[in-house]
Amino acid sequence: MTVRTDWTRPEIAALFDLPFDELVYQAATVHRAHHAAGQIQLCTLLSIKTGGCPEDCGYCSQSVYAKTGLEATKLMDVQAVLQKAAQAADNGSHRFCMGAAWRNPKDRDMPAIVEIVKGVRQMGMETCMTLGMLSPEQADMLAEAGLDYYNHNIDTSPERYNEIITTRTMADRLDTLAEVRRAGINVCSGGIVGMGETRADRVGFIHTLATLPAHPESVPVNALVPVKGTVLGDMLADTPLAKIDDIEFVRVVAAARITMPMSMVRLSAGRESMSEATQALCFMAGANSIFTGDKLLTAANAGDDKDAALLAKLGLVPMEAEEPLRACKALEAAD
Ligand code: SAM
Ligand code: DTB
Ligand code: SF4
């Protein structure tokens, strides 16, 4: 099976149109050809700077435009972040993902960010950061600090983008992704489904990711967490029928798996309100990564006890640390 970056929208639309069992079968086949099926990567999230974000993303509780009453915080102290990372390592997490509610980091924030990346890596976990847009210099600083992954989501289709966010463009997003790639950091990019989009938007979203010059190493698929006081959270509360159908959600996961066979596909936000059966279908359809713990950035997550029970019920086991980290460790040992 070859990795293609020349997918067309009709080809992806045809995947969505397959009978559901055929689509899941194809996705499971691709999953087994490229990954150890039955193994799930466990990642932990921490919000290192919460709220007060100047961007107007219609789904986000942390935007200054959202009426969520969320208290804005400053960037956490380096030692406090490292303490949280140590707890995550003790809980068996392999990747520590840190998010900041910024449009972009300020240069004065970078020394602390660099110290955090170095500290977390020393604990043997993979590091991931999501800090908003990056300048070329900032991308280089993060690469030099040893950052393993940078998360920057395209969120939806190019056509729908400016209905969800008006303070930046999809092109801005793609520019940062290109800088991250150029700097040699692994790319984590995905988006959100269940924002009232059409199937054509879902096709366009997958198409944008699957036709990047190189596929993101990680593709988070979030189900919208409808937060009261956000534009999209309130819209969904008013029109419950707009909520995405579970089977359609699994189709998105399957399409991501088939079109980006080598990528880790992360079943991200929204698991808290997802049935075990839907999550199991997502794993069958090729999702092989989740966020563990009680909290995402600001919203509730399923929680360690529930997840341990689900994985045990399904006979899934935590994945070993990924190749990039092993390679880094081997290099360090050779020094
Ligand atoms: N400020 C940075 C940025 O936007 O790139 C990083 C943090 S931001 C919260 C990370 C991602 O979380 C967003 O791109 C979006 O895909 C996801 N997200 C935010 N709020 C969400 C919600 N209510 N439901 C699902 N996903 C959400
Ligand atoms: C991603 O795609 N999902 C995570 C992570 N990347 C940073 C964030 C989900 C946030 C869910 C809403 C919240 O906690 O506020
Ligand atoms: Fe800010 Fe990121 Fe939330 Fe958008 S998604 S408002 S950029 S924290």
CATH number at residue 165: 3.20.20.70
- State yes or no: is 266 an active-site residue: yes
Task: Output the CA torsion 104→110→116→117 (10° steps).
Answer: 80
Average pLDDT over residues 175-181: 97
pLDDT at 244: 85
Answer whether 259 contacts ligand 3 (Cβ < 6 A).
no
248 within some domain: yes
pLDDT at 198: 94
Answer whether 294 contacts ligand 2 (Cβ < 6 A).
no
**Residue 333: is its pLDDT beyond 50?**
no
Count of alpha carbons within 13 angstroms of residue 273, beta-carbon side: 15
pLDDT at 1: 60
Answer whether 101 contacts ligand 3 (Cβ < 6 A).
yes
4 within some domain: no
- Catalytic residue, candidates 121, 173, 257, 266: 266
1 within some domain: no
Tell which one of 266, 272, 296 to mutate to probe ligand 2, the residue whose CB is within 8 A of the most ligand atoms: 296
257 within some domain: yes
**Residue 268: is its pLDDT beyond 50?**
yes
Q: Residue 306 — pLDDT band, cuts 50, 70, 90?
A: confident
- State yes or no: is 103 an active-site residue: no
How many separate domains does the chain show?
A: 1
3 within some domain: no
CA-based angle 184:186:187, to the nearest 5? 115
269 within some domain: yes
Domain that holds residue 241: 9-334
238 within some domain: yes
pLDDT at 253: 98
Q: In sequence order, what are the residues at sequence separation of 6 or more whose Cβ sits closer than 8 angstroms to the Cβ of residue 242?
A: 196, 235, 236
Q: From the alpha carbon of 130, which atom of ligand 2 is closest?
A: 7
- State yes or no: is 53 an active-site residue: yes
- State yes or no: is 282 an active-site residue: no
Distance CA 232, CA 237 (A): 9
Average pLDDT over residues 146-171: 97
pLDDT at 325: 44
Percent of the chain with pLDDT over 90: 83
